[in-house]
Structure 1
Amino acid sequence: MSRTELQVSSPGCLLLPRHVMEILMNSLHIKNQACSPALSQMGKIRLGAKSHLVGCLEELTTLRENAAAIYSPPVEVMILDGAATVNMLAPGNAKTFSDHEEAYTRILLHVQDSVMQGYIKVSISTVDTDVVVLAVAVAGYLVIDELWVAFGTGKNFRHLAAHEMAVALGTNKCRGLPFFHAFTGCDTVSCFSGREKRTAWETWKACNKVTDEVTTAFCALAATPTIPTVEDYMDQLERFVILLYDRTSSQEHANEARKHLFTRGGRSIEAIPPTREALRQHRKRAAYQAGYCWGQMMICTPELPSPSEWGWVQSDNGWGIY
């Protein structure tokens, strides 16, 4: 075998035949596993620390953590999340209701009802980050003076000013926030391996310094999108994910970014973006969660499409990621 038939993959690696390297590089373009390593863990969704997003949102308010722990805002209506109520009770047979797909989304329906009855200072008590995110989203368009979230328990308890967060974010980012949260990892949608909420948050902020296309995509996919609508915004989401993994990258397509980071960045397969096809399915799951499960939170009887059209596959063990 001649020297020209050999290829060095990276410094310190063994020399491999060129045709082997070509096969390896081509495989980086293919969704050749049931679950992408960047988006799954042992075949299941990869769960991250979604509560880190609360810290990012808190930085937008004037009431800082220490003060928020002791401040008790005067409100006209207080709405309790079932899970928060259980945390207030002594241990025993207390449990939350499970007869709704996501019971906590009904909390925001109660907020809307309170506003319609003329109340302008409302507080929500919850232990779930999702409720904080949705409270900020609705505070962006409800006619309400103050929307507080009594969040957490014990030493981590504090009052969050969702109305201040909404003002700081602006209308468009408030509308896009639920999709951002789902896309970067929640209870039902995988997070990106090694890319926690703050990294994603800073990436979103960096994107907006150049263009508002990413925020436009987030807004569209948080509002009961169709499959064609989801496809329309593939390029913007793909670019966002590339920047999530490499803020200096000029790549426009995930498959090319994977090749670049794997061969030149020396990263493991879990530390590079998912393939374009894996990202397409991930985007559908995020759109289903943000656009339908959360996007219909102000509707008394929401209608959900089949998850099979939105990146999920059903087996004897229930629904799993495609």
Structure 2
Amino acid sequence: MSNLEKTDHDISDYFRSRGFSVQLGSKNPFSRIPVDQTLEETVNRDTQKSGGTKGFSLKPGTVEKYYITAEYRASALRQLRENLSLSNHSKFHHADLHKPRMKIDEECVSSIVQLLENDWTNPFDQSPSDIINLSTGRAAAPDVQTSLLSLKKRGEDAYETFKRDRLERGEGFFDPIKKINLKTFNTTVPLKKSGKNKEIILRADRKLYASMILIAENRHLNMLDVFSHPLGPLPRSLANPDGSIKKTSKTVLGKHLESLISPEDENISSSATIIDGMALIQKLHGENRTFDELSDSILNQILNCGYHSQRIDIVFDTYRDKSIKSAERLSRGSEEEISFKNIKSGHRIIKWRRLLQSNDSKNKLTTFLVESWQEENRRRKIADRTLFATYSGKCIEITASGSHDVEDLASSQEEADTRMMLHIKNAAMEYSNIICVSDDTDVLILALYISSKFRWESNIYIKRGTSGRIRLIDIKKLASAVGSHVTSALPGLHAWTGCDTVSAFSGQGKLKALKLLPTNDEFVSLFSMLGSQFSLSDGDHCKIQKFACQLYSRNIKTENINELRYQMFRSRQGAVESTQLPPCEDCLHQHSLRANYQTAIRKRCLENFPAIPEPEDHGWNLEKDGQLSIKWMRGAPAPEAVLELLSCSCSKLCRLPSCTCMVNQLKCTDACKLATCENMSDPEECREEVYDSYNSCGSDDDEEDDE
């Protein structure tokens, strides 16, 4: 094609005169179509019958005659239709040139131009801010953006190379063409694998756990020492096979506490209402709304929620790059989140739920909302009330007449749960009744804690539930029903048994731990002191082991968690899953460090700028990319004598009797020397085993019902 003008001048001129397409009718503009499509629209269409030509005859001569005469029959049929005015091919009827359609198209084009220029980034600008995926609304990462912007140049360079080497020189014309390998929105980051301590070989394999025990027994190892290791890359009683923390139902504890007293009447005068902002946003349906419409909707809900109150506080979370909340997200891998460089009022929201998965987008959203509420048209809606709104570390007081910063409510606290307590303290100086709107059990626990500890004169209520099923919980009455000694221990017990940042124990629910707590004054004292300091003493860890032993088994009298693991294994004659055993002492210590760290943060909820140490020495690791990951253990996942038998060093072929994996009836893994061999597990089988291991884990509700 490049040399067509020199080799065949007539064909080149024919193509330049638009010979590669056909105009069906002179009175129908903008209707040129490709040659192959023309055949479909003319000859094939006119000869076609209902049901097609398939199977009309099996005689070769008849079929041949049919296709030889097809064009003549089609031409005659076309002329007949035109003579009878049954054909519209020659009439002017192009839909795109009708005035109503032209008006719609103009409006659509104007809307797109306005969207690109004012709300989204303009890809035709000389210096666009971001490249956005139109299907997801997600901004491209810097390396992906650089790759996409170089697409045209790299494509032109590749074409010039192909033209020079293969067309002009005639070298290797039929050789495969190398792929450019551009980074796109679908480019995924490969999972990092670490071979340290041979952890890579300890997969989520149900058979592997039993095999390790068998190897340990055959090697005559000290089984108590064996059970002092988690016997896997993750403590299965605390972690899921994918590395995420085990979850438990916090609402079970909240509902249990609610049931201890009767709810109050909703009509409470002279009150201040404090609202969990992000919980309110999560309940909204923001799809296909503009951010301006979203701002109005949220403000209306806030004012409606506090319609009996003279003061309304809306408290938002602050999202940071380095946060203990992001540790689990790192272990799960990247999410399909949507991030924006700038949020503008006219931008229409697409993929609302994905937007809420991005910490950066949520920070920008809360900033946009608070700033938009300070505009005069929205301030008028507040009327004679006062609105306190937080974003980042600031708090803004907004009234109908104006807005200003409130230094007394500026805070470095990250979670809205703790920052709401700071607003309760501030509102208690002026209002006799304070209503806290949140369904989160964390807020209920913290409200009980501060009410019992500081004994303010103001009445604190927690408003829970949805419309039609709203309950108003009097915190003072609930604290009296629970008891001051248990109330002071609740924050520590709640974090230790599982919260947003600390894993739960497989099969051991919160109610079971709550029932165990008052049976021993030592347990109450332990969890009351948890979080008083950011460090955890050896004596406290011994007490935690004792509580964990009682939580898992009342029958086996031991205060050492490693010994309990071994005794439970023996009592069930080895017929036990790793998820049914408690974590080893090493993993339990790291878990307790995380629970103590989280409790210490929450107990400092009334401080504007609490001094919080870095989490690296408190159950988390700092990765090279600056993100936090959960530190499950300090030591090796299994004794070295066991690990040595779980991988082979075969260099050419895995076969008996040289392959240690096959000798021990184990599948080869990525830790073995060979990259691939016939003894490796099928990936589909591995996925099924992971799925089965999820199903084998008992639920909290089942365990608690057994109690």
Pairwise TM-score range, normalised by the shorter structure: 0.7 to 0.9
1:300 matched to which residue of 2?
608
CA apart distance, 1:216: 0.7
Counterpart residue type for residue 227 of structure 2:
L
Counterpart residue type for residue 247 of structure 1:
R
Higher relative contact order (CA 8 A, sep 6+): 1
Gaps of 5+ in 1: 1-13
**2:374 is the alignment partner of 1:62:** no
Q: What secondary structure sits across from 1:235 in the alignment?
A: helix
TM-score, with length taken from structure 1: 0.82
TM-score, with length taken from structure 2: 0.39
Find 1:287's aligned residue among 596, 600, 603: 596
Gaps of 5+ in 2: 1-212, 299-315, 319-391, 393-412, 632-707
**2:527 is the alignment partner of 1:218:** yes
Q: How many residues are matched?
A: 295
Counterpart residue type for residue 271 of structure 1:
Q
CA distance in 1, matches of 2:431, 2:554: 44
**2:389 is the alignment partner of 1:81:** no
* Contact persistence 2:272–2:431 (CA under 8 A): yes
Mark the CA change 1:127 to 1:15 in structure 2 (over 3 Å): closer, same or farther: closer
2:466 matched to which residue of 1?
153
2:560 matched to which residue of 1?
253
Counterpart residue type for residue 222 of structure 1:
G
CA distance in 1, matches of 2:420, 2:514: 25
CA distance in 1, matches of 2:218, 2:493: 40
Find 1:38's aligned residue among 237, 259, 269: 237
CA apart distance, 1:59: 2.8
Counterpart residue type for residue 522 of structure 2:
E
Q: What secondary structure sits across from 1:86 in the alignment?
A: helix
Structure number with bigger Rg: 2
**2:441 is the alignment partner of 1:129:** yes
Deviations, residues 175-229 of structure 1 (Å, cap 9, x unaligned)? 221111100000000000111222222222xxx23x2111111111132x142x4
2:545 matched to which residue of 1?
238
Deviates more, 1:183-192 or 1:96-105: 96-105
CA distance in 2, matches of 1:73, 1:165: 19
1:104 matched to which residue of 2?
417
2:621 matched to which residue of 1?
313
1:7 matched to which residue of 2?
none
CA distance in 2, matches of 1:282, 1:15: 28
**2:222 is the alignment partner of 1:29:** no
Counterpart residue type for residue 606 of structure 2:
M
Counterpart residue type for residue 619 of structure 2:
G
* Contact persistence 2:549–2:564 (CA under 8 A): yes
* Contact persistence 2:223–2:566 (CA under 8 A): no
* Contact persistence 1:82–1:104 (CA under 8 A): no
Q: What secondary structure sits across from 2:250 in the alignment?
A: coil
Mark the CA change 1:73 to 1:186 in structure 2 (over 3 Å): closer, same or farther: farther
CA distance in 2, matches of 1:87, 1:158: 20
CA apart distance, 1:43: 1.6
2:134 matched to which residue of 1?
none
Counterpart residue type for residue 131 of structure 1:
V
2:492 matched to which residue of 1?
179
CA distance in 1, matches of 2:596, 2:215: 42
Counterpart residue type for residue 296 of structure 1:
R
CA distance in 2, matches of 1:21, 1:168: 55
CA distance in 2, matches of 1:49, 1:243: 21
CA distance in 2, matches of 1:17, 1:239: 27
CA distance in 2, matches of 1:150, 1:27: 50
Deviations, residues 69-97 of structure 1 (Å, cap 9, x unaligned)? xx415152211111343257563445955
* Contact persistence 1:39–1:46 (CA under 8 A): yes
CA distance in 2, matches of 1:242, 1:187: 24
* Contact persistence 1:29–1:275 (CA under 8 A): yes
Mark the CA change 1:15 to 1:190 in structure 2 (over 3 Å): closer, same or farther: closer
CA distance in 2, matches of 1:248, 1:123: 45
CA distance in 1, matches of 2:236, 2:505: 9
Q: Would you tell me which structure has more strand in proportion to its own residues? A: 1
CA distance in 2, matches of 1:183, 1:306: 19
**2:503 is the alignment partner of 1:190:** yes
CA apart distance, 1:272: 1.2
